Amino acid sequence: MRRIFKILKWIFLLFLFSSVLAVLALRWLPVPITPLMVIRAVENVMDGKPAAIHHQWVPLDSMARAMPQAVVASEDQNFMRHHGFDFGAIQDAVREAEKKGRVRGASTISQQTAKNVFLWPSSTWVRKGFEAYFTVLIELLWPKERIMEVYLNSIEMGPSIYGVEAVARAHFGCSAMQLRDKDCALIAATLPNPLKFSSQRPSRYMRKRTKDIQKQMRFISRETWE
């Protein structure tokens, strides 16, 4: 039993050291690929489709200034104020689930970044525990601008499409820097489910949601990201 505990201790220490080192390194290095990209590519192959991964890293200052505004307005309006977890949003989601029986997400941009870059898509408590751990790490070791930069470069934005540059090229025929405000709002509107909602062929619901996000964007300062 003592030997087992010793092995477990070394496994824990190795994980702790390697995870901190990885998060620290990615404070400066681009994220070339994520677990979700690999999983989606494998799923495509199993379905007889090409194992395509459309992804091109660009720095935050090479994106339209409205893009961070749009995702903050849509996904996490307290992004600049919280430290990884928006407990107010979590409480609101719990109350809504109790009253209406409808469960909505309350994950912050930091949590989504941790999940996208380091983990796998799943709803298990184990995965959520790792997500919380990596969220704390990136909030401690990365500035908010870096979290936003990694998020906008790694998040799924359509079938086999990851990041703002890739979706701008595929759906709007331009670079991430050339996206208009309404394009950014439309991209942000797809993020709850980018495999269901398309920024290339938006439905009536998507167009309405885009307008709502554009209204909210007025309250998100551009200067935050300059």
Is the pLDDT at 64 greater than 70, yes or no?
A: yes
Burial-class residue 126 by CB neighbours within 10 Å (0-12, 13-18, 19+).
exposed
Which of 45-59, 78-92, 96-110, 185-199 is the least confident region? Answer: 96-110
Confidence category of residue 101, pLDDT binned at 50, 70, 90? low
Q: What is the mean pLDDT of residues 84-100?
A: 70
pLDDT in tens, 140-174: 999 999 999 999 999 999 999 999 999 999 999 99
pLDDT in tens, 1-13: 788 888 889 999 9
pLDDT in tens, 165-209: 999 999 999 999 999 999 999 999 999 899 999 999 999 999 999
Is the pLDDT at 93 greater than 80, yes or no?
A: no
pLDDT in tens, 16-25: 999 999 999 9
pLDDT higher at 30 or 87:
30
pTM: 0.91
Q: Residue 92 has what pLDDT?
A: 67
Is the pLDDT at 225 greater than 60, yes or no?
A: no
Q: Residue 169 has what pLDDT?
A: 98
Is the pLDDT at 15 greater than 70, yes or no?
A: yes
Assess contact for 120 and 39: CB atoms under 8 A: yes
Number of neighbouring beta carbons within 10 Å of residue 185: 27
Q: Residue 120 has what pLDDT?
A: 85
Counting residues of the chain whose pLDDT is more than 90, the rounded percentage is 79
Q: Which two tokens stand for residue 100?
A: 């209406």
Task: Evaluate the CA torsion angle 111, 203, 38, 125 in order and state its sign.
Answer: positive
Task: Evaluate the CA torsion angle 145, 150, 156, 157 in order and state its sign.
Answer: positive
Confidence category of residue 32, pLDDT binned at 50, 70, 90? very high
- Domains of the chain, with CATH numbers? 2-225 (1.10.3810.10)
In SS3 terms, the chain reads as: CHHHHHHHHHHHHHHHHHHHHHHHHCCCCCCCCCHHHHHHHHHHHHCCCCCCCEECCCCHHHCCCHHHHHHHHHHCCCCCCCCCCCHHHHHHHHHHHHHHCCCCCCCCHHHHHHHHHHCCCCCCHHHHHHHHHHHHHHHHHCCHHHHHHHHHHHCEEECCEECHHHHHHHHHCCCHHHCCHHHHHHHHHHCCCCCCCCCCCCCHHHHHHHHHHHHHHCCCCHHHHC
Q: Which two tokens stand for residue 194?
A: 């980018």
Specify the pairing of strand 156-158 against strand 161-162: antiparallel
Is the pLDDT at 102 greater than 60, yes or no?
A: no
